[in-house]
């Protein structure tokens, strides 16, 4: 990491012991360790924040690209709808008439069952094979 060998650490500790003395050396070591961890934590937080911002900016770019694609598709769909409306005009009256054509659906008589006849089986509609529920 720092390329410091065992001899350099021994020499540094002897010099620190001579300069600070045996009373202040443990306090100095705690102070240095505290600031070392504080600086290390700050560097880690800065790196994490930078990585997070880079990921956010990449996500923003992807979202903007997808939004552009969606807008292009919307424009294409509007053009297709406009072309269909011009080429095949169908009035709203014809659409309503097609929706209200009841002859297209099979007609089944509504059958009522009283509470007293609850033990009997209800006959099914011959056209749809659906049992009416009440």
pLDDT in tens, 78-123: 888 877 766 555 566 666 666 665 555 555 555 544 444 555 555 5
Please tell me the predicted confidence (pLDDT) of residue 95: 64
pLDDT (mean) for 52-75: 92
pLDDT digits (tens, 9 = 90+) for 17-58: 888 888 898 898 899 999 999 999 999 999 999 999 999 999
The Cα angle at residue 112 between residues 108 and 115, in degrees rounded to 5: 155
CA distance 77 to 62: 22
- 99 or 131: which leads in pLDDT: 99
DSSP tag of 128: T
pLDDT band at 72 (very low <50, low <70, confident <90, very high): very high
Of 5-9, 68-72, 89-93, give the range with the top mean pLDDT: 68-72
Task: Using the CB atoms, write b or e for 97-134: b if 16+ within 10 Å.
Answer: eeeeeeeeeeeeeeeeeeeeeeeeeeeeeeeeeeeeee
- Is-contact 28 20, C-beta < 8 A? yes
Q: Is 42 exposed, middle or buried (0-12, 13-18, 19+ CB in 10 A)?
A: exposed
Closest CA to 88 of 96, 80, 99, 97: 80
Cα 25 from chain centroid (whole Å): 54
- 85 or 64: which leads in pLDDT: 64
- The kind and range of the H/E element at 37 are helix 6-87
Please tell me the predicted confidence (pLDDT) of residue 84: 72
Domain residue extents for the chain: 6-102
């Amino acid at each position: 990491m720092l390329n410091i060998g065992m001899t350099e650490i021994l020499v540094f500790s002897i010099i620190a012991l001579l300069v600070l003395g045996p009373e202040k050396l443990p306090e100095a070591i705690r102070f240095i360790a505290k600031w070392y961890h504080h600086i290390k934590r700050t560097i880690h937080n800065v790196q994490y924040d930078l990585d997070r911002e880079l990921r956010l900016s990449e996500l923003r770019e992807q979202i903007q690209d997808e939004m552009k694609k969606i807008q292009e598709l919307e424009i294409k769909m509007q053009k297709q709808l406009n072309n269909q409306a011009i080429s095949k005009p169908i009035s709203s009256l014809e659409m309503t008439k097609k929706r209200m054509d009841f002859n297209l659906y099979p007609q089944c008589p509504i059958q009522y069952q009283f509470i007293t006849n609850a033990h009997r089986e209800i006959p099914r509609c011959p056209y749809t094979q659906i049992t009416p529920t009440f």
